[in-house]
Each structure stands twice: as structure tokens, then as C-alpha cells.
């Protein structure tokens, strides 16, 4: 099994100090809160890491383990059940997360001595539960070290039609793997599942040319962050995931921002022009609205979102990036505004295109969510159509790979509104990001960006 490299600054040594133990204890606390509460993992991580005094390298370790355990949870659980000798599902959530975190480190992280991982987990179990469960923790982990489970190859499980074990091996809900298999076939399903299980690269967009992009890239390189340009998408760079990147002066000055390339495709697909009136109906956290404002100087950009709290994120980002946009708290289904040249509907969706970055989303999403989301997406588009001037453009986008929410919704809209037509996406962005029907359709295993969809719909009259 290939192990994942740890962040460069994290080099655990056999003599585990209290600071690293605190980091691993925090991981287990975060995982338990995510498992038993309502908040998403990224929200819980942000809350705890903003309050802790841990150094940046330990924050990076906490983030890596928390996301890794969450991505691999069903595979870790299946292996732990072989050694637990009791009802693992019925065990205390914190104990399960101590064991999951330790097994994840043993199986996936390098440069961590096995005995140090076990000793720290046992010590944490002893502190939380006493000697009895500490001994159980020790026995389970040492048994896992002696007898690692030899997982069958996914292709073998698939050939046997064993989706239950395949779901454990790949660590996905069974319904989702069956769905992907039905849509894409065996090879594509396995490639997509593998892509979402990798640590995602961070993508940044350089802004404000007057800040000199060469200088910004040099500062990133000095901070050991090497950017790789994305072909066909100006000013976008892949960089290694680094927890400290937001602490750089160039980030604070608005010289770059974190934004996936798939989101950048949407802004270029829209082709905003200077002086236009632009409405983003589902704007928070603001990345696309601010990109549109940058591409179209002197445009009037109106960012609409139902949540005032999330609009504050847009405001903070706009201030950092030195963009002037209008913020309005309103429901996208009923918002009434000025006649617009361009309306963006970056719709609420299942998020199945960002499972690599949203590691807990695979366990939260249910198949019955999709038709409910489709109904909401259609409602928003119906209102968006009323906001456009004749000749205006409606951009519909999602961060999902689910056809019902993507091609299905766009096709429905074109059938319902014959005064709109589809503008082929290849006219605006590189063809490699587009499908044969003229939509933007990206997949992580094919394009190296998040899974996404977008359609450019032009109002004729």
C-alpha cells in the first residue's frame, strides 16, 4: 500500500512530545464532534484550529489526519472490526476515533514509527477511559500491526458483483458506487473513486496584475510553495496543500486567492464585459462573483445570497481583493433586481464533484437528496430568467458530477424556455473541459480539477 507523504515540516520522532499528543487528541475530538453533531468537518476544523495555539505544522497534521480518517472511514472500520472482538459499531465514538486515527497513521502516513502511534493512542485512551479500554486499544492496534488485512483488488470485487465489500475497500456509500457504475462503467467508476480519495491539490488564482505576478510566485516559492500553471486558464496555478498559505503577505494583500480551476472556467464561460450589470444569485462565499468583477472593470456586480452570515464572507473577500460589489441578502427563488446583462446561478447541489475536498460529504449525502435539489435548481433558474435583458446570458453551474442536476436541469430549462438557446462552451473555454453537447463538464480523474458542470444560456428576446 502506498503511504501518503506527510507535510514537509511534520517529522514525528519516536520520543512523542506532549504537543504532538495534543494534536492527535484534538484530531479525535474533532472527528467525534463531526460524527455526532450537525456541523461539517471543515467548519469544525476551522473552529478548533482558529482557537488552538498549536504551531502551523501541527495544524497541518490535524487537518491531514482528520480528512484522511474521514475519507477512509469505512475501510478503516472494516479492518478494525476484524481485531476489535466486540461490537465495534456500538463502541464509544471517541474510542472509535482514537483507533481510526491510529490505524490511519499506521496504514497511510510515512515517517511515523508504529510503536509511537500505538503508544500515543493507548495513552489517549487511558486518559479518556481508564486502564481497561487502554489495554483494549493496545491489543487491537498491535493485532492490526501483526495481521494487516490483505484487501482484494477492487477490479476483483467488481467482477464478482460484491458492491458491499467494494464500498468498504474504496470507502464510499454503496449506493454512490452503484450509481457511478451505472453512469460511467467499471473503469471510469474506479478512476473517479480513486481520484476523490487522494489529497486534493490547492488551486490559487493570481489577481491584480499591478501587484506583479512574478513577484507573487517568487514569494510563494520562497515559502516552499511551488505553483504549476494550468494550461488554458490564465492566472490559475496548482500548489501543494499548505495550511500556512493564507498567512502570506501576498494573500493578505489580495494578490492571490484560493479558487479551484473549475470555478474559474465558469467566469470565463460567462465572458463578462466592462460596464455590464451582473447578478450572482447564489454568491457566497464569493469566489465567482469576485472573479467576474475582476474580468469586467466598472461592471455593476450584485452578489445575492440567502444567508447574511455567508454574505459576510463575500464582504471580507471583496475587501481583501479590493473589489467593489453590492451585497443583498435575499432568496434566489424570489429576488427581484435590476435588468441584468448576465445572471449567474451557481446552484445549491449535491456537491458530488468536490468529494475530495469535502471529505465528510460522501457520508452525509443520500440518493433522495438529488430530486429535491433538482426541484430547487429549477425554481432558481425560473426566477433568473426573469431578471435578464433581451440578449442577456444566464450561466448555470454546479459542483457536482450528477447528470440529473447538470445536463438534466439545463435540458429541462431549454425545453421550458424556447427564447433561450445554448451557446457552445467551446467558444469561450478550452474544448478539453467541454462535452460534445457544448456544456462544461469536468472530472478530477480526467482534468485534474474538481468535478463540475456549467451551461451558457443566451436569451434571444
Candidate from 4-18, 41-55, 170-184 with smallest mean pLDDT = 4-18
CA distances in angstroms from 439 to 188, 240, 242, 398, 425, listed in the order given: 19, 29, 32, 12, 6
Q: What angle do CA 402, 406, 407 make, to 5 degrees?
A: 115
Residues 6+ apart with CB under 8 A from 39: 33, 47
CA distances in angstroms from 106 to 134, 168, 297, listed in the order given: 18, 18, 52
How much is the pLDDT for 116?
94
Residues 81-133 pLDDT 10s: 999 988 999 999 999 999 999 999 999 998 789 999 999 999 999 999 999 99
Taking 90 as the threshold, does the pLDDT of residue 247 lie above it? no
Taking 90 as the threshold, does the pLDDT of residue 451 lie above it? yes
Give percent of the chain with pLDDT exceeding 70. 94
Residue 81 has phi, psi (to 5 degrees) of -60, -30
Q: Is 399 a catalytic residue?
A: yes
Candidate from 17-31, 140-154, 333-347 with smallest mean pLDDT = 17-31
pLDDT band, very low/low/confident/very high, at 179 (cuts 50, 70, 90): very high
Q: Please indicate whether residue 248 or residue 276 has the higher confidence score (pLDDT).
A: 276
- Cell numbers for 112, please give them: 511515523
* Predicted structure pTM score: 0.92
Tell me, rounded to whole angstroms, the distance of Cα 248 from its chain centroid.
22
How much is the pLDDT for 8?
38
Taking 90 as the threshold, does the pLDDT of residue 190 lie above it? yes
Q: Residue 209 carries which DSSP code?
A: G
Q: Which of 252, 415, 274, 277 is nearest to 339 (CA)?
A: 277
Residues 404-435 pLDDT 10s: 999 999 999 999 999 999 999 999 999 999 99
User: 57, 111 in Cβ contact below 8 A?
Assistant: no
How much is the pLDDT for 21?
46
How much is the pLDDT for 226?
85
Long-range contacts of 176-185 (CB under 8 A, 24+ apart): 176/352, 176/362, 176/365, 179/367, 183/403
pLDDT band, very low/low/confident/very high, at 3 (cuts 50, 70, 90): low
Q: What angle do CA 14, 18, 22 make, to 5 degrees?
A: 110
Element (H, E) at 412: helix 407-416
As a whole number, the mean pLDDT across the chain is: 92
**If you average pLDDT over residues 443-447, what whole number do you get?**
97
**Interatomic CA distance for residues 276 and 293, integer angstroms:** 10
Of these residues, 137, 282, 399, 434, which one is catalytic? 399
pLDDT band, very low/low/confident/very high, at 354 (cuts 50, 70, 90): very high
The per-residue b/e assignment along 273-299, b for 16 or more CB within 10 angstroms, e otherwise, is eeebbbbbbbbbebbbbbbbbbbbeeb
**If you average pLDDT over residues 299-314, what whole number do you get?**
96
**If you average pLDDT over residues 228-233, what whole number do you get?**
90
Taking 60 as the threshold, does the pLDDT of residue 7 lie above it? no
Residues 355-379 pLDDT 10s: 999 999 999 999 999 999 999 999 9
- Cell numbers for 79, please give them: 479492518
Q: Which of 147, 132, 48 is nearest to 92 (CA)?
A: 132
CA distances in angstroms from 282 to 4, 421, 457, listed in the order given: 36, 22, 17
Please spell the DSSP secondary structure of 233-300, one letter per residue.
STTEEEE---TTGGGSHHHHTTSEEE--HHHHHHHHHH---TT-EEEETT-TT-HHHHHHHHHSTT-E
How much is the pLDDT for 232?
86
How much is the pLDDT for 129?
96
Pairing of strands 277-280, 420-423: unpaired
How much is the pLDDT for 274?
97
Taking 60 as the threshold, does the pLDDT of residue 395 lie above it? yes
What domains can you pick out in the chain, each with its CATH number? 18-146 (1.10.940.10), 154-196 (no CATH), 202-258 (3.30.70.1170), 261-459 (3.40.50.150)
Taking 90 as the threshold, does the pLDDT of residue 17 lie above it? no
Residues 6+ apart with CB under 8 A from 147: 82, 83
pLDDT band, very low/low/confident/very high, at 214 (cuts 50, 70, 90): confident
Q: Please indicate whether residue 226 or residue 377 has the higher confidence score (pLDDT).
A: 377
Q: Which of 417, 339, 342, 351 is nearest to 378 (CA)?
A: 417
Residue with cell string 472511514: 73
Element (H, E) at 33: helix 18-36
How much is the pLDDT for 234?
87
pLDDT band, very low/low/confident/very high, at 188 (cuts 50, 70, 90): very high
Amino acid at each position: 500500500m502506498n503511504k501518503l507523504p506527510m507535510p514537509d515540516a511534520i517529522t514525528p520522532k519516536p520520543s512523542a512530545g506532549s504537543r504532538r499528543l495534543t494534536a492527535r487528541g484534538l484530531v479525535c475530538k474533532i472527528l467525534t464532534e463531526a460524527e455526532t453533531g450537525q456541523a461539517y468537518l471543515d467548519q469544525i476544523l476551522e473552529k478548533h484550529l482558529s482557537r488552538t495555539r498549536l504551531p502551523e505544522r501541527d495544524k497541518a497534521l490535524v487537518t491531514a489526519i482528520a480528512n484522511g480518517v474521514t475519507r477512509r472511514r469505512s475501510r478503516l472500520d472494516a479492518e478494525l472490526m476484524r481485531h476489535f472482538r466486540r461490537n465495534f459499531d456500538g463502541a464509544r465514538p471517541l474510542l472509535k476515533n482514537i483507533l481510526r486515527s491510529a490505524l490511519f497513521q499506521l496504514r497511510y502516513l510515512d515517517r511515523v514509527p508504529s510503536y509511537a502511534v500505538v503508544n500515543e493512542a493507548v495513552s489517549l485512551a487511558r486518559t479518556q477511559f481508564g486502564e481497561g479500554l487502554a489495554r483494549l486499544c493496545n491489543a487491537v492496534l498491535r493485532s492490526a500491526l501483526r495481521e494487516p488485512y490483505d484487501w482484494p483488488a477492487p477490479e476483483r470485487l467488481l467482477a464478482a458483483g460484491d458492491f458491499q465489500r467494494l464500498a468498504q475497500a474504496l470507502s464510499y456509500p454503496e449506493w454512490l458506487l452503484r450509481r457511478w457504475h451505472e453512469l460511467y462503467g467499471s473503469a471510469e467508476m474506479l478512476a473517479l473513486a480513486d481520484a476523490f480519495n487522494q489529497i486534493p491539490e490547492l488551486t490559487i488564482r493570481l489577481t491584480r496584475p499591478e501587484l506583479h505576478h512574478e513577484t507573487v510566485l517568487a514569494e510563494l516559492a520562497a515559502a516552499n510553495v511551488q505553483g504549476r500553471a494550468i494550461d488554458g486558464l490564465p492566472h490559475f496555478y496548482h500548489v501543494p496543500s499548505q495550511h500556512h498559505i493564507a498567512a502570506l503577505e501576498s494573500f493578505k494583500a489580495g494578490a492571490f486567492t484560493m479558487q479551484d480551476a473549475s470555478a474559474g472556467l465558469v467566469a470565463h464561460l460567462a465572458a463578462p464585459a466592462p460596464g455590464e450589470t451582473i447578478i450572482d444569485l447564489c454568491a457566497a462565499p464569493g469566489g465567482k462573483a469576485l472573479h467576474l468583477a475582476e474580468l469586467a472593470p466598472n461592471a455593476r456586480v450584485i452578489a445575492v445570497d440567502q444567508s447574511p452570515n455567508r454574505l459576510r464572507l463575500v464582504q471580507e473577500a471583496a475587501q481583501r481583493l479590493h473589489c467593489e460589489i453590492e451585497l443583498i441578502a435575499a432568496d434566489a427563488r424570489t429576488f427581484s433586481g435590476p435588468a441584468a446583462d448576465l445572471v449567474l446561478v451557481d446552484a445549491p447541489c449535491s456537491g458530488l464533484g468536490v468529494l475530495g475536498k469535502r471529505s465528510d460529504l460522501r457520508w452525509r449525502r443520500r440518493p433522495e437528496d438529488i430530486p429535491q435539489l433538482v426541484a430547487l435548481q429549477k425554481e432558481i433558474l425560473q426566477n433568473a430568467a426573469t431578471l435578464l435583458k433581451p440578449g442577456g446570458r444566464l450561466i448555470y453551474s454546479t459542483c457536482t458530477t450528477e447528470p440529473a442536476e447538470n445536463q438534466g436541469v439545463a435540458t429541462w430549462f431549454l425545453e421550458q424556455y424556447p427564447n433561450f438557446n445554448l451557446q457552445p462552451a467551446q467558444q469561450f473555454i478550452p474544448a478539453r473541459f467541454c462535452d460534445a453537447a457544448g456544456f462544461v463538464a469536468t472530472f478530477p480523474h480526467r482534468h485534474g480539477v474538481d468535478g463540475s458542470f456549467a451551461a451558457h444560456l443566451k436569451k434571444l428576446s
